[in-house]
Amino acid sequence: MIRVLIVDDSPVIREVISQILQKDPEISVIGAIGNGEDGVKAAVEMSPDLITMDINLPGINGLEATRRIMNLKPVPIIIVSSTVDNYNISTSFQAIEAGALAVMRTPPGLLNPTFENYVQELINTVKLYSEIKVVKRRFIKYNVSSPVAEPYSTTDVKMMDVEIVVIGASTGGPPVVATILTILGPNLSVPVLITQHMSPGFITGYAEWLSNSSSVCVRVPEDNEVLIPGIVYVAPDNVHMGVKEKGRIHLSNEDPIKSLRPSVGYLFRTVAETYGKKALAVILTGMGDDGASEMGLIRKKGGITIAQDAESSIVNGMPGSAISLGSVKYILPPELIAEKVKSLLEKKVKFN
């Protein structure tokens, strides 16, 4: 039985979330709290398997409550927030930075045509994230002795003509992406394309948060948009993002791949076909294996492939799958991923 604590200032929302979750016989709602201080207290005393957390709370808000819980007694937290309020969206991503695993929109009305889809999304998210083991310190500094799939070598000299960087991420990805972009900085010599699995309605806010936290220009592109060096492009909601020809974004309404749209695999496959050895691909923390085999296409073409290491990954599904398939050249923590990408783009090679 998955024991869930609900923290939300709205009695109506608390009741709706409770009814949704208790539709599933494997989920039990052990408490529904209306303010941040009591939410923190309940989290410590009741030891839930997962918490749904509102942002707007009387007393301390959801961000501060998340910080305190992650410091006192870490537990998987899902932020349940409105997508129409810029403050809520910004604060939601700060809560992810503080340790929350994901952000979801508040439940739509019972008569809304998307309600049943939301029910299944919330139940599935709670089941998946309740199994994740979270810790107080989620990211630490790593030294250069971190494991690599293949040592730095002189072969890098022949591989440094990178024209595009692509990144795939899912659970736990937002703060890792922010870390990487911050280290890369605003003066990138190539465009960067990111597919991040995320609940619908938050991608625009995610792009804005990344821009603000990293000082890099991040945007959600339109179809056929010309790629500009130094700009980071994040896949929009519910469409695949890739490239059809060098230098242009392609957005596709093709069927979901492994139930996902946008798909990391679609991005990696189209980039492998278009850029080949001039591509650099990074696969980050996330559930499942989206992008794992397609990353192998980039490596076979002679491109550079990097996976986040298991130690720093919230979920080692996507990077672990890519590694097991032989799709990965380097296995590194976030800070060293950024430094490696930066050194390649600046044509600086490290040797053992």
Predicted local confidence at residue 330, as pLDDT: 97
| C-alpha to C-alpha distance for 4 and 51, rounded to whole angstroms | 6
Predicted local confidence at residue 150, as pLDDT: 46
Helix or strand holding residue 66 (H, E): helix 62-72
Of 81, 92, 170, 321, which is the active-site residue?
Answer: 170
Coil, helix or strand for 168? strand
213 is catalytic: no
Of 49, 130, 197, 321, which is the active-site residue?
Answer: 197
Of 9, 49, 54, 290, which is the active-site residue?
Answer: 290
**CA nearest to 188, candidates 230, 234, 231:** 230
Identical fold at 2-129 and 154-345?
yes
**Which phi and psi (to 5°) does residue 142 adopt?**
-115, 155
pTM of the model: 0.86
For the chain, which residues make up each domain, given as ranges? 2-129, 154-345
pLDDT tens for the chain, residues 1 to 352: 999 999 999 999 999 999 999 999 999 999 999 999 999 999 999 999 999 999 999 999 999 999 999 999 999 999 998 766 777 788 899 999 899 999 999 999 888 998 999 999 999 999 989 988 876 644 444 343 344 444 334 344 444 589 999 999 998 899 999 999 999 999 899 999 999 999 888 999 999 999 998 999 999 999 999 999 999 999 999 999 999 889 999 999 999 999 999 999 999 999 999 999 999 999 999 989 999 999 999 999 999 999 999 999 988 999 999 999 999 999 999 999 999 999 999 864 443 3
Predicted local confidence at residue 156, as pLDDT: 45
Coil, helix or strand for 104? strand
- Which phi-psi region, left, alpha or beta, contains residue 70 (left: φ > 0; alpha: ψ -120 to 50)? alpha
Predicted local confidence at residue 347, as pLDDT: 65
Contact assessment for residue 55 and residue 202, using Cβ atoms and an 8 Å cutoff: no
| CATH fold of the domain at 2-129 | Rossmann fold (3.40.50)
Predicted local confidence at residue 27, as pLDDT: 97
170 is catalytic: yes
Q: Report the b/e string of 50-69 with b at 16+ CB within 10 A.
A: bbbbbbbbeebbbbbbbbbb
User: How far lies 59's CA from each of 36, 55, 62, 66, 96, in Å?
Assistant: 6, 11, 10, 13, 20
| C-alpha to C-alpha distance for 193 and 181, rounded to whole angstroms | 12
197 is catalytic: yes
| CATH fold of the domain at 154-345 | Rossmann fold (3.40.50)
Predicted local confidence at residue 132, as pLDDT: 87
Helix or strand holding residue 251 (H, E): strand 248-252
Predicted local confidence at residue 23, as pLDDT: 93
Predicted local confidence at residue 348, as pLDDT: 44
Predicted local confidence at residue 84, as pLDDT: 64
Predicted local confidence at residue 89, as pLDDT: 82
Predicted local confidence at residue 134, as pLDDT: 79
